C-alpha cells in the first residue's frame, strides 16, 4: 500500500505514536510518505527517523503570494468545489484551499497513492478531503485529544468527521465522545496509539526512591499534583528523587511550586532527552507517575503513550481515573489509579508501593504483560491495515 500521512509537525518528540505507526507500516513493506504542515523545531529526534528513508513534504505557509492558488485549475475542479462548499470564516476557508492545492500536488508527486491518512482531526484537515476528492482516493483521520476535547467547535468537528471515509480513534472513550457529544456518525475503529514493546527492555533494577514522569509540561498532565505529593512524602521522611522529562509552557509555574515547597534537591527537570536517555530513565525509575487531569479548557489525554512505554519497561505505574486511562490500567492489577487533582491520594499510592516492594514488582510485571498482549504496536497496525483495506 502507498499512503501519504498528513501531520502537524514532523518529526515531533511528543508524538512518538505517529512515528511508531509509520515505522511499523514501513517495516511491513508499505510505502509511506509524509506531508507536514509545519517545520520541525526540535534538535533531538527518535532513532526510528534515521532507520527510514522517508520523503517528507513541508507545507508552504500562506501569504499574499498564495492568492493565485485559490484560482488554480486544481482548486476550481468540480470535485474539489463540491467538497469545499460550506459557509465558514473566509480567511480560514482560503487557508484550507491553499493547503488543499499543496496536498493535491504532493499526491501527484508521489504517484499512485492509495489513500491519505491524517493524524488529529483539526479543522484544517478538511484540506485533505479536497486532495482526496481531486484524485478520487479515500482519506482517513485519527482523532486524538486536544483537537476534539479542547474548547471544541462542534460544527467544524462534525464537518471534519463526516468528510473522511473513516475515523480512527485511540480508545472507546474517544469513540463514545465523538458519537454522543459531537454527533459524528461516520464509521469508527479503535486503534490504540502505542509503541513497540520490544523496544523497551524489562527493568531488572531501579534506583530506590526514584520517581519519573515523561510528559509535556502542560496543564492536562497534572504535574503540580505529583510535586505536591512528593512534598508530602519528603516531609514524612521518604527519600525521593523525582525526574521530569519534557518541556512546555508551565515549566516556570512548576519550578516555582517546587521552590515554594522547598524541595529543589528532590526534583530534576530534564527537558527533552534522547531515546537512549529515556530508556535509562525508565529503567532506573522505581515508579512512573502520570497524574493526568481534565484541563480548564476541556483538554485531556486519552491513554498516554508514555504510560504504555513505562509499562513496557516493567516500571510500576500510577495514574488517574480519567478518560481512557482505565482502558489501559486496571486499578490494583497492572497499576494504580487515583482520583485526579488529589495529591494526598497520589502520595498515599506512591507510599504504598514504596512500602510494599513485592506489590510494586507484581504491578510492574503485570503492566508489561498488559501492553504485550493488548497494546503492542503490531496489534494496532493489524487493525489499521484492516481500516485502510476496507476504504480502498
Q: Which residue has the higher pLDDT, 203 or 46?
A: 46
**Whole-angstrom distance, CA of residue 383 vs CA of residue 187:** 14
HSE of 124, CA atoms in CB hemisphere, 13 A: 21
Answer yes or no: do 66 and 167 share one domain.
Answer: yes
In three-state secondary structure terms, 40 is coil
Q: Is 303 exposed, middle or buried (0-12, 13-18, 19+ CB in 10 A)?
A: buried
Work out the average pLDDT over 269-287: 96
Answer yes or no: do 74 and 174 share one domain.
Answer: yes
Number of domains in the chain: 2
**Whole-angstrom distance, CA of residue 119 vs CA of residue 7:** 6
List the 267-271 sheet strands across, edge first: 267-271, 241-245, 210-214, 287-290, 316-320, 336-338
CATH number of the domain that residue 242 is part of: 3.40.50.2000
pLDDT at position 202, please? 87
* Residue range 18-70, pLDDT digits in tens: 999 999 999 999 999 999 999 999 888 898 998 999 999 999 988 777 778 77
Indicate the DSSP class of residue 150.
S
* Residue range 93-102, pLDDT digits in tens: 888 888 999 9
Q: Which domain holds residue 175?
A: 2-195+377-391
Answer yes or no: do 190 and 215 share one domain.
Answer: no
Work out the average pLDDT over 108-121: 96
Q: What is the largest CA-CA distance in the chain?
A: 71
pLDDT at position 86, please? 65
Answer yes or no: do 229 and 365 share one domain.
Answer: yes
**Whole-angstrom distance, CA of residue 18 vs CA of residue 384:** 13
Answer yes or no: do 113 and 31 share one domain.
Answer: yes
Residues of the chain with pLDDT > 90, as a percent, come to: 86
Alpha helix locations (H) across the chain? 16-27, 47-51, 78-84, 90-110, 126-135, 146-149, 154-163, 172-176, 223-235, 251-261, 275-284, 305-312, 325-328, 343-355, 357-370, 377-391
For residue 145 the three cell numbers come to 485529544
**Whole-angstrom distance, CA of residue 267 vs CA of residue 296:** 26
Answer yes or no: do 43 and 140 share one domain.
Answer: yes
For residue 118 the three cell numbers come to 491524517
Answer yes or no: do 315 and 384 share one domain.
Answer: no
Given the C-alpha cell 480502498, which residue does it identify?
392
The answer on pLDDT for 92 being more than 90 is no
Answer yes or no: do 209 and 188 share one domain.
Answer: no
How far from 279 is each of 83, 273, 274, 314, CA to CA, in Å?
46, 10, 9, 11
Query: Using 50, 70 and 90 to split pLDDT, how confident is the model at 74?
Result: confident
Answer yes or no: do 167 and 50 share one domain.
Answer: yes
**Whole-angstrom distance, CA of residue 294 vs CA of residue 53:** 38
Please name which of 177, 127, 116, 129 lies closest in space to residue 150, comparing C-alpha atoms.
Answer: 177
Indicate the DSSP class of residue 56.
E
* Residue range 226-271, pLDDT digits in tens: 999 999 999 999 999 999 999 999 999 999 999 999 999 999 999 9
Instruction: Give Cα 236 to chain centroid, integer Å.
Output: 36
Answer yes or no: do 231 and 100 share one domain.
Answer: no
For residue 18 the three cell numbers come to 505517529
**Whole-angstrom distance, CA of residue 200 vs CA of residue 23:** 16
DSSP string over 285-344? -SEEEE-----TTS---SS-HHHHHHHHTT-EEEEESSTTHHHH--BTTTBEEE-TT-HH
Indicate the DSSP class of residue 71.
G
Answer yes or no: do 203 and 312 share one domain.
Answer: yes
**Whole-angstrom distance, CA of residue 27 vs CA of residue 137:** 24
**Whole-angstrom distance, CA of residue 29 vs CA of residue 55:** 15
Answer yes or no: do 279 and 318 share one domain.
Answer: yes
Residues pairing with 141 in the sheet: 118, 167
**Whole-angstrom distance, CA of residue 52 vs CA of residue 174:** 31
Query: Using 50, 70 and 90 to split pLDDT, how confident is the model at 78?
Result: confident
Amino acid at each position: 500500500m502507498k499512503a501519504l500521512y498528513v501531520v502537524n509537525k514532523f518529526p515531533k518528540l511528543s508524538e512518538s505514536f505517529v512515528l511508531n505507526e509509520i515505522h511499523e507500516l514501513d517495516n511491513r513493506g508499505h510505502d509511506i510518505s509524509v506531508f507536514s504542515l509545519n517545520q520541525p523545531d526540535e534538535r533531538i529526534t527518535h532513532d526510528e527517523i534515521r532507520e527510514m528513508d522517508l520523503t517528507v513534504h513541508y507545507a508552504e505557509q500562506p501569504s499574499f503570494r498564495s492568492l493565485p492558488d485559490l484560482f488554480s485549475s486544481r482548486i476550481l475542479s468540480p470535485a474539489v468545489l463540491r467538497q469545499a462548499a460550506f459557509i465558514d470564516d473566509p480567511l480560514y476557508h482560503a487557508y484550507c484551499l491553499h493547503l488543499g492545492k499543496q496536498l493535491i500536488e504532493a499526491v501527484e508527486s508521489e504517484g499512485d497513492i492509495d489513500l491519505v491518512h491524517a493524524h488529529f482531526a483539526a479543522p484544517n484537515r478538511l484540506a485533505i478531503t479536497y486532495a482526496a476528492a481531486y484524485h478520487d482516493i479515500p482519506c482517513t483521520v485519527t482523532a486524538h485529544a486536544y483537537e476534539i476535547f479542547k474548547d471544541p467547535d462542534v460544527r467544524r468537528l462534525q464537518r471534519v468527521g463526516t468528510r473522511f471515509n473513516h475515523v480512527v480513534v485511540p480508545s472507546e472513550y474517544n469513540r463514545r465522545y465523538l458519537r454522543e457529544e459531537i454527533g459524528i456518525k461516520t464509521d469508527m475503529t479503535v486503534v490504540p496509539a502505542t509503541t513497540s514493546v520490544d523496544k523497551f527492555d524489562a527493568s531488572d533494577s531501579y534506583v530506590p526512591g526514584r520517581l519519573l514522569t515523561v510528559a509535556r509540561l502542560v496543564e492536562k498532565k497534572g504535574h503540580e499534583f505529583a510535586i505536591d505529593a512528593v512534598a508530602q512524602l519528603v516531609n514524612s521522611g521518604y527519600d525521593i528523587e523525582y525526574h521530569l522529562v519534557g518541556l512546555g509552557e508551565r515549566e516556570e509555574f512548576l519550578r516555582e511550586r517546587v521552590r515554594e515547597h522547598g524541595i529543589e534537591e528532590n526534583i530534576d527537570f530534564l527537558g527533552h532527552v534522547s531515546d537512549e536517555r529515556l530508556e535509562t530513565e525508565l529503567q532506573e525509575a522505581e515508579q512512573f507517575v502520570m497524574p493526568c487531569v481534565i484541563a480548564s479548557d476541556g483538554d485531556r489525554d486519552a491513554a498516554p503513550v508514555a504510560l504504555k512505554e513505562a509499562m513496557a519497561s516493567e516500571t510500576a505505574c500510577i495514574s488517574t481515573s480519567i478518560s481512557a486511562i482505565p482502558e489501559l490500567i486496571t486499578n490494583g492489577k497492572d497499576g494504580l489509579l487515583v482520583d485526579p487533582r488529589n495529591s494526598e491520594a497520589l502520595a498515599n499510592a506512591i507510599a504504598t508501593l514504596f512500602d510494599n516492594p513485592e506489590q510494586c514488582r507484581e504491578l510492574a510485571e503485570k503492566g508489561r504483560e498488559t501492553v504485550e498482549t493488548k497494546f503492542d504496536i503490531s496489534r494496532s497496525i493489524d487493525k489499521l491495515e484492516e481500516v485502510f483495506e476496507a476504504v480502498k
